[in-house]
Amino acid sequence: MNVIEVSGLVKRFGDKTVVDHVSMTVAQGEIAGFLGPNGSGKTTTIRVICGLLRPDAGSGTVLGHDILTESRLIKRQTGYMTQRFSLYEDLSVEENLLFVARLYELSTPAGQVRETLEELGLTARRKQLAGTLSGGWKQRLALAACLMHKPRLLLLDEPTAGVDPRARREFWDEIHARAAAGLTVLVSTHYMDEAERCHRVHYISKGKVLASGTTDEVIAKAGLTTFVLQGKGLPDAARLLSGMDGVDQVAVFGSMLHVAGRDRKQLKASVGKVAAETGVVAREDATTLEDVFIQLMDER
């Protein structure tokens, strides 16, 4: 069963088309990654999906409800975590959740707040002002506010920006546990390691979806070949390879140089020639998701 099923979504602001005929499906219990550079249309698409914005064209259903005529029903069953912390910083953790519980007209607000505090590990901080929380705890509070009304769909817009690696890992552990219990998640992110935690990914650029599928499917469809170079002559190798036949990307990764391109024969010849001239060691390696997305960005 598809929780999100939209086709040909278009959203314009004046003469600028921000969402350009976007189509996608997200199945129940799936964690779908939504990737793309800043200004690519991710946030606007999410807002159209959850009923906050009305599309100028296109159609679809979310949670079985029409996005054009039943947006109110969609909102009641969706949790949406925005890019910026959007709760009241001068209220305590508990007061913020009570406010949200009353907005959703929950049957027993105080009891459901206590339950949510325990589930998200916030009980010990319930009296702390939200504005004094660290980035990781603010993120946890925002997630608690999104989950308290037991939504069937969770929309997360760059939820881990500005939090430390441990908080990011704990956040993703929580998301996977919820998805295993049947919650559907659409999450936008810039982090490639987070994209690889998703069941499927959708890459958007300038309002258009350019690639969709599992990580392996997206990498395979890209048709890239990648070589890794190591040695003392890397700076010279990087300079020489830039612009050579078959070379689409040259990127430094620590003590290694990643070189990628679509024409394997030309790329192999160029890498072999430069390796011989500079004394570096070259080997073919697996193409990464980051290689693919850089390629898609460059082509757009």
- Token readout for 87 is 């709760």
Higher pLDDT, 98 or 290: 98
pLDDT over 80 (residue 162): no
Residues recorded for the chain? 300
272: Cα separation from own chain's centroid: 37
Top CATH class of 2-215 equals alpha beta
| Separation CA 298–CA 130 (nearest Å) | 41
Give the mean pLDDT of 220-228. 94
The per-residue pLDDT for 168 is: 87
pTM: 0.89
Other CB atoms within 10 A of residue 220 CB: 13
pLDDT over 90 (residue 192): no
Binned at pLDDT 50, 70 and 90, residue 227 comes out as: very high
The helix/strand/coil state of 24 is strand
pLDDT over 80 (residue 287): yes
CATH number of 220-299: 3.30.70.600
119: Cα separation from own chain's centroid: 24
The per-residue pLDDT for 88 is: 95
Q: Where do you find CATH 3.30.70.600 in the chain?
A: 220-299
Strand-strand pairing, 225-230 and 256-261: antiparallel
